[in-house]
Structure 1
């Protein structure tokens, strides 16, 4: 439990030091500073806090031979940005604990770290590598960052969680790796699909998206 608590505390302290609440502040509207509008990130943040706790609590709310798990942390990162995603994911784990009596605080902390903080951080590093060494294109953002980055980040994080003692119940170690690989692909397909939808129809919900970078369009005044 101590490694998970240390990772969560360090990540939360770093995120708060970056002052993520600034991303939720009002912004100048069409009429300038006298006509402020609410931050567009409020909607995806509320969606994450309402829906994701049920998804994380679901494996403990029913009995199945294989507990299917969905992280969604890379998607939360793409929508909210790392400083805001970290406290949101920690809150999601706390809400999942309250929703499921079978999910103790130790298990909730493990979820917060290995399904939330670690895959979101790995996805952040993957995105930084793409920004640095790969060309800037909408398809690179959707396929390489939204899809492939999610698969790699989630799979690596779950393997680290398994090494830390968070094994799938009733599944041996070799089969557990295969199951985690397949579940990571499910995470990647869902994240890639939603990334494509949001980039096209709701780009204001994606804190990591920029028309100026990926579409070569100047920012609107």
Structure 2
């Protein structure tokens, strides 16, 4: 569950960005790289916190502030790294990026 949730949330975020946001290379890098990774960590971490609170035995001992701060820090780092790697891949190996369509993003 911990491995599947971020993947599902990132996939859904990428599909929403591709459907509702105009096609632009900056949107591809920021949306698919940074925002999708950031939201997948935040959403999956929040869902796991809720499940741990509801079904956990020691619900009184959960450090909500520490959990929230850790989620924000990890989400920021994950989004930054994913965005940078996507930008590098788009520069040097664009055929490795499955969401990149040259006709859609470089038609101008």
TM-score interval, normalised by the smaller of the two chains: 0.7 to 0.9
Structure 1 residue aligned with 2:26: 139
CA drift of 1:171 comes to 6.7
More RCO (CA 8 Å, sep 6+): 2
- Number of residues paired by the alignment? 102
CA drift of 1:136 comes to 0.3
Structure 1 residue aligned with 2:5: 118
Within-5 A mapping of 1:22-37:
none
Superposition RMSD on alpha carbons, in Å?
2.2
Q: How far, CA to CA, are the matches of 2:62 and 2:73 in structure 1?
A: 14
Q: Tell me the alpha carbon deviations over residues 95-124 of structure 1, each in whole angstroms, 9 at most, x when there is no partner.
A: xxxxxxxxxxxxxxxxxx22x311111111
Segments of structure 1 that go 5 or more residues without pairing to the other structure are 1-112
Bigger proportion of residues as strand: 1
TM-score relative to the length of structure 2: 0.82
Q: Which moved more, 1:199-208 or 1:188-197?
A: 199-208
TM-score relative to the length of structure 1: 0.42
For the pair shown, the structure with the greater C-alpha radius of gyration is 1
Whether 1:175 and 2:66 are equivalent positions in the alignment is yes
Q: How far, CA to CA, are the matches of 2:4 and 2:91 in structure 1?
A: 27
Segments of structure 2 that go 5 or more residues without pairing to the other structure are none
